[in-house]
C-alpha cells in the first residue's frame, strides 16, 4: 500500500461534492470536494506500489486539455486500470459540475 500526493493548477472551486466507485477488485473509490481556488489537490492511497509515474502521467493527460475546477480529491484504489481510473474521475467531475 502506498500514499501519493499530486497538485495541479485549477480554476474556481467546484460547487458540490461527489463520490463514485467502490474499493473493490479492479476498481477505486473517488471522493471529490471543493478545494482552494487555483489548486487541484489529489491524494491517492493505492494497493499497487511503485506506480507514482503512471498516476502522474494519467492526471497530466486528463487535466492538460481542460483546466479542472479547484478540488480536493481522495482516491482509494484497489488495482484499477488507467482506463477505469479515468472513467471514474470523469464521472466524478461531471457530478460536481452538475451541482
Partner 1 sequence: MTDVARLLQSRSFVELGARQRARALLDEGSFRELLDPFARVTSPWLPKQGIVTQADDGVVVAKGTLDGQPAVIAAIEGAFQGGSMGEVGGAKIAGALELAVEDNRNGIPTRAVLLLETGGVRLQEANLGLAAIAEIQAAIVELREYRPVTGVVAGAVGCFGGMSIAAGLCSYLIATREARIGLNGPQVIEQEAGLDEYDSRDRPFIWSLTGGEQRYASGLVDAYVADDADAIRAELHRLFAQGKPPQPRSRRHAWFLQRLADVDIRTQLDAAAVRALYQGDAQ
Residues within the interface to partner 1 (CB under 8 A): 1, 17, 19, 22-25, 27, 29, 31, 33, 45-47, 74, 76-78
Q: Measured between alpha carbons, how far is 42 from 19 in angstroms, rounded to an integer?
A: 14
Q: Measured between alpha carbons, how far is 9 from 99 in angstroms, rounded to an integer?
A: 22
Contact 48, 79 (CB under 8 A): yes
Q: Which is nearer to partner 1, 6 or 27 (CB)?
A: 27
Q: Which is nearer to partner 1, 45 or 62 (CB)?
A: 45
The closest of 48, 65, 68 to 7, measured between CA atoms, is 68
CB of 29 to partner 1, least distance (A): 6
CB of 74 to partner 1, least distance (A): 7
Side-chain-side CA neighbours of 27 within 13 Å: the count stands at 8
| Strand, coil or helix: 57 | helix
CB of 78 to partner 1, least distance (A): 6
Q: Which is nearer to partner 1, 33 or 95 (CB)?
A: 33
Q: Which is nearer to partner 1, 47 or 67 (CB)?
A: 47
Amino acid at each position: 500500500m502506498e500514499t501519493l500526493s499530486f497538485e495541479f493548477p485549477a480554476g474556481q472551486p467546484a460547487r458540490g461534492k461527489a463520490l463514485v466507485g467502490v474499493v473493490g477488485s479492479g476498481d477505486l473509490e473517488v471522493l471529490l470536494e471543493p478545494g482552494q481556488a487555483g489548486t487541484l489537490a489529489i491524494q491517492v492511497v493505492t494497493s499497487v506500489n511503485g506506480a507514482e509515474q503512471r498516476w502522474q502521467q494519467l492526471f497530466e493527460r486528463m487535466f492538460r486539455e481542460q483546466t479542472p475546477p479547484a478540488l480536493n480529491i481522495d482516491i482509494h484504489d484497489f488495482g484499477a486500470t488507467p482506463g477505469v481510473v479515468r472513467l471514474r474521475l470523469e464521472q466524478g467531475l461531471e457530478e460536481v459540475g452538475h451541482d
